[in-house]
Amino acid sequence: MRRPRFEARVSFRVLAVVLLLLAAVSTALPLASPAGAAAKGKLVLAWHAGFASRWLDPQEHDGTATPDNFFTALHDALIKNQGTELYDHLALAERFTVAADSRSATFTLRKGIRFHNGEPVTPQDVKFSYESYRGAKADVFKKKTERVEIVDDRTVRFQFKEPFLDFAILFGTANVAGPGWVVPEKYYKQVGADGFKQKPIGAGPYKLVRHEPGVKVEMEAFDGYYRPVHVKQLVMTAVPEAATRVVMLERGEADIVYNVPGELIGKVSKLPGVTLAPVLSGSFFIEFPGFQDPKNPFRDKRVREAVSLAIDRRAMNQAETAGHGRVTGNWINPDVQYAIEWPEFERNVDKAKQLLREAGYPNGFDVDWVTPLPTFYSRGERIIAQLREVGIRGRLQTMERGIFFQRLQGGLKEFPGTQIILHGVRIAGSWSFWYEGYFKCGGFNSRDRICVKDLDAKFDQYERSVSPTERKKLAEEIQRGILENHYLVPVFRHAFVNAIGPRVVAQKWQDVFPTVTTGYAYPWEDLKVKDQ
């Protein structure tokens, strides 16, 4: 009787030991299996411009909606924008909490996460990455942060001097700022900032194999990543000429190409096995620089409304993006915090003429220049043609991209007289970044061209407020104020048209471009290629 019982006990112990071992192995090596082992094939992305090496270093995020394409492959953040999550997708952090008074935020790292060189990702790396960050909005983080505390070997806490309500959204949006992207302190210090840009080591799903500055980045699946990585080799190659990118796709030399211009959309849509991916991107809207001047016809709200009524937004969308864009009512993208939904503005030429008559312009008037964002000159021409129907006569002014932004930043003196600017903008994160950049008096791109004191006062109140409810209310009020008064006239949302080749596994284009806050194909680890 004893022996069977002994055997049963032994069997039970063996089973328990085996289970414990399995559990230990799966905890200690959670990553050996998911990423590298299953990864196979190669995926080539044809990028639409030159590469800047600074895009490989989150420490110097330039604040534009570009570096995230590279960060999301090579690096990883505590939290980030991914899929439909605007900023709070848990990445290196297993969980995070922001204190009720917004005076601190605490992050707990996942177990067993490592950098590409095998070193563990530690709270010290998080602290270093945050404190040595010198990219976009660095001054905001520095000004508001009191200290970064390492609570234990997996927990790090950010203590703020005052309530920092925008912390999580700034911290977690890859196309706004980069202090949440963790770099290995030891390696970074060892090679220096410039060395790091040439040979970056991160904790992302792909590790660098070869970097030809400005030309090509070759990467390989990182088998230490905490999520499965499906494609073994990921190559991003810069091909500035659109026609060449399309031919690369046609020949199978590239699997994903970015930025198919309007004139090539028809051709690409007919290529066998190729899927168009018209990702909704920036918003195009009209600005009336210096409209507060009593001599400026756009001072009259009825004139601004007439412009809005004259614009044929649907025709613009059809002609410029083959209908892949979207006519929306707000000039701020809906994929940012506190952006409001607004109904599509109507087109009514008769009503526009009536409003112009009432405003004292029965025969219309002349606009000195209509200046579109380079290189969207044809959009400017369409605006001119549509405005001419109601008697507003304008001339197209084209500028080189750098000159355009320089003149924007030069303020009203660069746009004297009666002028119209057609902007195209994409800013992620919060509605407030849009306001700050393109509407606020003194803003980076708005300068002194628009100065609406009551709205700016509300915005100051918004910035000072520590109540999310009040902030939301103010954000909505301000946006309504802009739209009801036609201070800015929304036109449509541009489509950043990309194309996916037949080797990529996708039922629909959203499988490859699932992240709503970007036009790029991340998360890269989720992409799959067919067996070759």
Which residues of this chain interact with another protein, rule CB under 8 A?
49-50, 52-54, 62-64, 134, 136-140, 176, 193-194, 197-198, 212-216, 237-241, 243-244, 247-248, 250-251, 253, 400-403, 405-406, 408-409, 425, 427, 433-434, 436-438, 443-445
Q: How far apart are CA 16 and CA 19, in angstroms?
A: 5
Report the residue number, 20 or 49, with the smaller CB distance to another protein: 49
| Minimum gap (Å) between residue 55 Cβ and another protein | 9
Contact criterion met (CB below 8 Å) for 369 and 395: yes
| Minimum gap (Å) between residue 17 Cβ and another protein | 53
Report the residue number, 202 or 443, with the smaller CB distance to another protein: 443
Query: Rounded to the nearest 5 degrees, what angle is found at the Cα of 161, between the Cα atoms of 172 and 77?
Result: 20
Q: How far apart are CA 36 and CA 476, in angstroms?
A: 47
Q: Which helix (H) or strand (E) holds 131?
A: helix 123-131
| Minimum gap (Å) between residue 428 Cβ and another protein | 10
**E-assigned strand segments in 308-381:** 365-366, 369-372
| Minimum gap (Å) between residue 433 Cβ and another protein | 4
Report the residue number, 38 or 403, with the smaller CB distance to another protein: 403
| Minimum gap (Å) between residue 380 Cβ and another protein | 19
What is the 3-state secondary structure of 444-504? CCCECCCCCHHHHHHHHHHHHCCCHHHHHHHHHHHHHHHHHCCCEEEEEEEEEEEEECCCE
**Burial zone of 79 (CB within 10 Å; 0-12 exposed, 13-18 middle, 19+ buried):** buried
**Burial zone of 321 (CB within 10 Å; 0-12 exposed, 13-18 middle, 19+ buried):** buried
Report the residue number, 195 or 362, with the smaller CB distance to another protein: 195
Report the residue number, 126 or 136, with the smaller CB distance to another protein: 136
| Minimum gap (Å) between residue 450 Cβ and another protein | 14
Report the residue number, 198 or 354, with the smaller CB distance to another protein: 198
| Minimum gap (Å) between residue 515 Cβ and another protein | 19
| Minimum gap (Å) between residue 331 Cβ and another protein | 13
Q: How far apart are CA 430 and CA 15, in angstroms?
A: 53
Per DSSP bridges, beta strands 85-90 and 79-82 are: antiparallel
CA dihedral 308, 309, 314, 315 (to 10 degrees): -100
493: left (phi over 0), alpha (psi -120 to 50) or beta: beta
| Minimum gap (Å) between residue 425 Cβ and another protein | 6
Contact criterion met (CB below 8 Å) for 342 and 333: no
Report the residue number, 287 or 436, with the smaller CB distance to another protein: 436
Instruction: Give, to the nearest 10 degrees, the angle between helix 313-321 and helix 377-388.
Output: 150
Report the residue number, 107 or 434, with the smaller CB distance to another protein: 434
| Minimum gap (Å) between residue 240 Cβ and another protein | 5
Q: How far apart are CA 198 and CA 57, in angstroms?
A: 9
Report the residue number, 15 or 243, with the smaller CB distance to another protein: 243
Please, which residues have CB within 8 angstroms of residue 134's CB and are 6 or more apart in sequence? 59, 60
332: tokens are 């701020």
Q: How far apart are CA 49 and CA 324, in angstroms?
A: 22
Report the residue number, 168 or 425, with the smaller CB distance to another protein: 425
